[in-house]
Each structure stands twice: as structure tokens, then as C-alpha cells.
Structure 1
Amino acid sequence: MSSATPAAPMTVPAGAETATVAAGCFWGVEHMFRREFKGKGLYDARVGYIGGDTADPNYKIVCSGRTGHAEALQVVYDPAQVSYRTLLEFFYKMHDPTTANRQGPDVGTQYRSAIFYHNADQEKIAKDITERASKEWYKGKVATQVLPAGHWYDAETYHQLYLDKNPSGYECPSHFLRNFPALSE
């Protein structure tokens, strides 16, 4: 099995921003974000690995739980059409952030809930949304990590758009949209 490769630079309009989140098995996370934000400011979404200390990881080694990497989603979006805050509220609605290193039956550090921020503004928003989601939606039980984004590695090609190519493929049972009211400002 080949190693993942660093993300190639994308050609996107000036002003585009990047958001990186981990919420368990990356197939369902990618699928849900694409479905929700297609035509609403999403330029691209790709699955990959981040947060660990192993260079050039691949799926098999990440699944071992020994790399420190999380299965993650990186989106490039137009902040004039969709805000970082909106992306993070969706993130908290579409998975279970209350379990450390687990989503449904998927267990291990690679399945942790995390937000990987790319700048000081994102860090501030991520901490604020995490605090509000914990208080207002999850009764103080959010286990999501808020961490600086490190080196990103794209997952192997067969993982990209996996559920589009395999409609009956595995989806984590904890990946569904919860019906919560908007977070307070």
C-alpha cells in the first residue's frame, strides 16, 4: 500500500480559506460536508491524515493507532459564502464529540474529534464554538481537541469521494445531522 502524499497546492480564487476537522471515519465526514455545502461556498474537500508524528503515513499504518494521526477532512471554502463558524457548527452537529478517541464502533486515536486551526482567528472561533457546543448541546461533555494544524497528508486516492463511488459503503452510525438550535452569540 502506498504512502499518503502531501496535499498539492490547489487552484482556488483569491481569499479562499482552509478548515481542517477530524470526526471519526473520514468517508462519512467528507460525504456529509460535500452534501451540505456543495454550491454554498465549498471549493474542495479531501480526506487525509493530520496531527501525528509519522511522515508519509498510509491508511494501514494510521489504522494501527501508533502514528498519532487522525483521519481528517480538509475543506477549502469561500468565506464570503460560508463562515468558519458555520462549518464548525455543522461539524458539531454531524458527529458525537463526547467520546475520546471513538466514533460509534470505531475506536482509536485516529478516530478522535479534533479541530485543527490554521491561524489565530480560527483558533479563537474554534475555542468559542467548542465551549458553546459543549455548554448548549452536549451538557459539558465535549472531548474535542482544538489544536494547531500541522502537516497535512492526503489519504490514498481510493479514499477520496469514497461514499460517492461506493454508495453502500461503510458509514459510521454516529455520523448523522443532529437537530440542534443555532448556538447563541
Structure 2
Amino acid sequence: MATAIFGAGCFWGVEAFFEKFEGVTGTTVGYIGGHLENPSYEEVKQGDTGHAEAVRIEYNPAVITYAKLVNIFFEAHDPTQVNRQGIDVGHQYRSVIFYTDASQKYIAEEKISEWSAKGVFKRPIATQVEEASSFFEAEEHHQKYIQKHGSAACSIG
């Protein structure tokens, strides 16, 4: 198994979107990219921890590639918005790919170039590419939130 980590706004909808694909074997929502150790949802929601709401995806690379996951990431949200997705505004909702090795970084940067060249989006892609730091799992009631509460709980997906 392998791991991919993406931030694309409200993590509830992003998690539910990725779970639909064959080869995705598990998802966990949480926080990454900030300066506070083991932050809570309430702390991240305030917007000053530096963390992004993100989804850690466990996947089988023999079934689905990292490149395909990055394509799905671009299909799952608006990567042209800076520090927001829909009604969710703040640094914690930024569009970001957290890479775990040089290969993932290369693929992420190549995919940004590829998607930019397609002209699909009316504005430039604002997605950041950052080295993965410590991933802190969100509280249990945030895990599989859409499955528990329905799709009306989030605007993505």
C-alpha cells in the first residue's frame, strides 16, 4: 500500500469523493502543514495554526496510480481558489498536495502543468505543493462524516 495526502477544502467531502475509486483502500481526515502539535478541529478552524484540513489516502498502486489520484484531486475541487473552497474561507481550506517523496513531488508538479495547459480552469491553478509533515488525525466524529450525516453536510463531491 501507498499513501497520498491532499487538501482541497472541507475534508469531509474530499474524503467521500476519493472513497469511491477502486484501489483506494482507506481514508483518514486530519490536519497537516502547520506549526501546532496535535491540533484540534476548533484550533484549526480558527485559521492560525497553519494547518490545512486534509485527507490521507491509503491506496494500492497496482490498482490506482498516484498520477490518477492527482487527477481525481483536480476533479474534486476548484484548484484556482486561494485559501478557500466555496463558502469555506481560510488558509486551512487551501488547495495543496502534500508529497511524501521526490516521485510524488515530480508527479504533482507535472500534473499542475498538465492541467494548466488544458485550459479547463478560467483562472490560474493556485494549488501548492508542500512536503508532507506530521499528519494529525481529526477527531473521530469527523471521520467518514458524509457517510454518517449525508452529503448535504458539505458542498464538495
Give the shorter-chain TM-score range. over 0.9
Normalised TM-score (structure 2): 0.96
Is 1:166 matched with 2:143? no
Aligned to 2:19, the other structure's residue is in SS state helix
Shift of 1:131: 1.2
Is 1:33 matched with 2:18? yes
Q: Which runs of 5+ in 1 are unaligned?
A: 1-15, 177-185
Instruction: Please point out which of 122, 135, 138 is paired with 1:152.
Output: 135
Deviations along 1:114-158, one digit per CA (max 9) or x if unpaired, are 000000000000000011112212256100000100000000000
Aligned to 1:21, the other structure's residue is in SS state strand
CA RMSD, 1 decimal:
1.1
Instruction: Please point out which of 58, 61, 69 is paired with 1:79.
Output: 61
**Residue in 1 that maps onto 2:49:** 67
Which amino acid letter does the alignment assign opposite residue 138 of structure 1? F
CA distance in 1, matches of 2:122, 2:141: 38
Higher alpha-carbon deviation: 109-118 or 162-171: 162-171
Q: Which runs of 5+ in 2 are unaligned?
A: none
Which amino acid letter does the alignment assign opposite residue 23 of structure 1? A
* Higher alpha-carbon Rg: 1
CA distance in 1, matches of 2:86, 2:17: 16
Deviations along 1:5-62, one digit per CA (max 9) or x if unpaired, are xxxxxxxxxxx11000000000000011112x1xx21111010000001111000000
Shift of 1:160: 0.2
Matches within 5 A, 1:48-127: 48-127=30-109
Normalised TM-score (structure 1): 0.82
Which amino acid letter does the alignment assign opposite residue 141 of structure 1? P
Aligned to 1:57, the other structure's residue is in SS state coil
Which amino acid letter does the alignment assign opposite residue 54 of structure 2? A
How many positions carry a matched residue from both structures?
Answer: 156
Shift of 1:169: 4.2
Deviations along 1:65-116, one digit per CA (max 9) or x if unpaired, are 0000000000010100000000000100110000100100110000000000
Aligned to 2:153, the other structure's residue is in SS state coil
